[in-house]
Amino acid sequence: MPADTLLMTIAVVAIFVGFGAVLAWADRQTSAGRLDPDSKH
């Protein structure tokens, strides 16, 4: 596999992993209020 193809594949995978991490972080931030009955957000 040529080096430029390998780098492009790594970049695309990193974008997807980063997007998944942001979604997981956002879900954790929003679900904390739903799970806590005493929260007044």
pTM value > 0.85: no
Residue type, 35: L
Mean pLDDT by 10 residues, the chain (41 residues): 94 98 94 62 54
CA distance 41 to 22: 21
pLDDT at 22: 97
